[in-house]
Chains A and B, each alone.
Chain A
Amino acid sequence: MPYSSGMEVGDTLNATLTGPSGTPVLVFVHGFGCGREMWRLVAPAFSDDFRVVLLDLPGSAAADPSTYDPVRHASLDGYAEDVLKVLDELGLDDVTFVGHSVASMIGVLAHLAAPTVVTRLVMVSPSACYVDDGEYVGGFSASDIDDLLTTMERNQLGWQAAVAGMVAGAGHEEARTELEDAFCRTRPDVALQFAEVTFRGDNRADLPHVSAPTLVLQVRDDVIAPMTAGEFIHRQITGSVMRVLETRGHAPHLTNPDEVVSAIRDFLPVGVT
């Protein structure tokens, strides 16, 4: 039974806590694009023996529009603060932070800000820096990121119309399809800024400070977070474990959910309380 009432920040971020009391806690945080629904094939596998927290990041999916603050969310720290607020409202500590893509770095920042609250990190398809820098291979050039922003802006022509149709309460089939996709919608202005913060961000310097046990889940063939990005994180975080999933794509929690579940279970200490 989700019990979400009583959370000031949590309610606005569509946050829920489920699972038997007293069990260890997993918080699943989605990355750039889409929302908590991205975990729909993974999170339920932990519902019997874990407490599971799911939420939408500010500006994404079903999060209340008022949660997004262009100033505070101009850096990932703003997002980390928000996740920590939700955990605080739920009275949780000793949490395993499972972050996809950019949320892996949100997890790093949350851990550094509150080391007793976020005590383990699971990074699914992470990258500490998407843009190449000297020896470092992030996979993208600065102009690639410009290309992304242009492409997103062009696609917003249609997406804005779709959102407007939803607001107008259009009852036809098209509008229903759009509603089904709503979990993957981000407010256009937010999407552009989130894309900038994500893809122009650089959290490499934060990694050596991480003291939490860390799992890096790397997909062999991922155009967004290439092997070099995962290997860099693995090298920079002492004692981290790296698991390579022999598949392709940037969303193994959708394409290979069983492998993601077993990798997380293998990583977590048996009988953790």
Chain B
Amino acid sequence: MTELLPTGLDAFESAPCGYVVVDARGIVARANEEFLRLLDAPAGDVIGLRTFSSLVSTGGQILLETHVRPILDHAGVVREIAVELVRADGGRVPVLLNARVVSTDPRTVLVVLVETRDRHRYEDYLVAAKHAAERASQDAAAMAVTLQQTLIPPEPPVVPHLEIAAAYRPAGSGREVGGDFYDVFQVAPDAWAVVLGDVSGKGIQAAVITSFVRHTVRSVAIAHPDPSDLLHALDEAMRSHGSEHHCTLVAARLEWEDPGWSIALALAGHPPALIRASDGRITELGVPGTPAGLMSDPQFHTVRHKLGEETVTLFTDGVTEARGSSGELFGDARLLELLAGLPGDPHDIVASVVSATLTWQSDDASDDIAVVSFAAR
């Protein structure tokens, strides 16, 4: 191919990359113009005097000795090794090098080098971005855990004449912030609100709405003794909040009217409450309503019930829509059957429903699970 080059031009000397021949002693036996330009050194300071490795940074020397040289001896060639040349004044020039052993006796190695200043800056940026991304991801995970701690509903309070149990189990690993919640709080000397709901979506946005819904329900509950009024107030607050999210909810007001409890209950797009009679019979309580925060013309209806020797159970769709390994849903029928077979104790019911749901999905919950159960005592 030499004949293609203009007369007097040498492919080695004129190569548009640093080009070096390293002898058996590791010394630079030959170097072209571009290499000397990279080093900013006259030929007399380098050729025949300096070892190649003495021209790279100390970290690079260690890499050459411990990694590059063994690969070169084994495979005869190395490619794309990033090191920094060090100039006489201490300035550094990032390069990528390829090397090939062209003779083993005496050992002779050809090295070509390309300056990578811009690429080097870009890599610095990539490495910094990678570190930043790793930190951000750790921060986000830590924040999710912290947020979730604040969202996990507290143990229900002690309510006179009422046995009440509740459980919340976040989806999956528990790191994702979920949208299920429940709340039990006093609204009058003899009256208590019990709410359980499910905010659409997942992640931080859903968590923010969940928090908003819980606080709104608490703040409007006292002024709206009728649960359907409460749901209207919540619905209005959610829509004026301008959020994309909506929520399903069951809101109940329990009033102690000696010697028993009366329940007023309304549904917002949520499955009805299940009432288990002492003989195991299950009936539903609630008239279907629209989800809160979704429609411009929401419909909520309050139903009333005198609580007898019964246990009332509220649940989110994390229970009935749990999918087994075959893809089959846990479903309403299975839940009804489970409740019918259990004793009436609210704590037993909550524990059994959660554990049956988890077992159904082999302990890997695809959605949050929330269950509240109560009975007169």
Question: How many Å from the CB of B375 to the closest CB on chain A?
Answer: 50
- How many residue pairs link A and B with beta carbons under 8 A? The number is 89
Contact between B59 and A34 (Cβ–Cβ < 8 Å)?
no
Question: How many Å from the CB of B90 to the closest CB on chain A?
Answer: 13
Which segment, of A3-11, A15-23, A115-123, A148-156, faces chain B? Answer: A148-156
The listed residue (B59, B73, B77) touching A151 by CB distance below 8 A is B59
The listed residue (A31, A158, A251) touching B80 by CB distance below 8 A is A158
The listed residue (A141, A149, A151, A223) touching B65 by CB distance below 8 A is A223
Residues of B within 8 A of A141 (CB): 58
Interface size class of B (residues with CB under 8 A): 20 to 34
What separation, in Å, do the CA atoms of A223 and B60 have in the docked complex? 11
A157 CB within 8 Å of chain B: yes
What separation, in Å, do the CA atoms of A31 and B59 have in the docked complex? 17
What separation, in Å, do the CA atoms of A172 and B80 have in the docked complex? 18
B335 CB within 8 Å of chain A: no
Q: Which residue of A lies closest to B25 (CB)?
A: A248
Contact between B58 and A224 (Cβ–Cβ < 8 Å)?
no
Contact between B58 and A147 (Cβ–Cβ < 8 Å)?
yes
Residues of A within 8 A of B162 (CB): none
Question: How many Å from the CB of B93 to the closest CB on chain A?
Answer: 14
Contact between B75 and A151 (Cβ–Cβ < 8 Å)?
no
B17-57 Cβ-contact flags toward A at 8 Å (1 or 0):
00000000110000000000000000000000001011001
Report A117-144 residues with CB < 8 Å from chain B CB: 140-141, 144
Contact between B70 and A31 (Cβ–Cβ < 8 Å)?
no
Which segment, of B81-89, B180-188, B202-210, B312-320, faces chain A? Answer: B81-89
Interface size class of A (residues with CB under 8 A): 35 or more
Contact between A148 and B73 (Cβ–Cβ < 8 Å)?
no
Residues of B within 8 A of A199 (CB): 62
B67 CB within 8 Å of chain A: yes
Report B55-106 residues with CB < 8 Å from chain A CB: 57-63, 65-67, 69-71, 73-75, 77-78, 80-84
Contact between A149 and B53 (Cβ–Cβ < 8 Å)?
no
Contact between A184 and B82 (Cβ–Cβ < 8 Å)?
no
B123 CB within 8 Å of chain A: yes
Report B263-295 residues with CB < 8 Å from chain A CB: none
What separation, in Å, do the CA atoms of A147 and B65 have in the docked complex? 15
Contact between A249 and B26 (Cβ–Cβ < 8 Å)?
yes
Contact between B81 and A183 (Cβ–Cβ < 8 Å)?
no
A177 CB within 8 Å of chain B: yes
Contact between A148 and B58 (Cβ–Cβ < 8 Å)?
yes
B127 CB within 8 Å of chain A: yes
Contact between A151 and B57 (Cβ–Cβ < 8 Å)?
yes
Question: How many Å from the CB of B329 to the closest CB on chain A?
Answer: 37
Q: Which residues of A are at the interface with B, using a C-beta cutoff of 8 A?
A: 31-34, 37-38, 101, 140-141, 144-155, 157-158, 177, 180-181, 183-184, 199, 223-224, 248-251, 254
Please give 13 more A-B residue pairs, beta carbons under 8 A apart, in addition to A147-B60, A199-B62, A248-B51. Answer: A33-B67, A34-B67, A144-B58, A148-B58, A155-B81, A157-B123, A158-B80, A184-B67, A223-B54, A224-B66, A251-B65, A251-B73, A254-B69
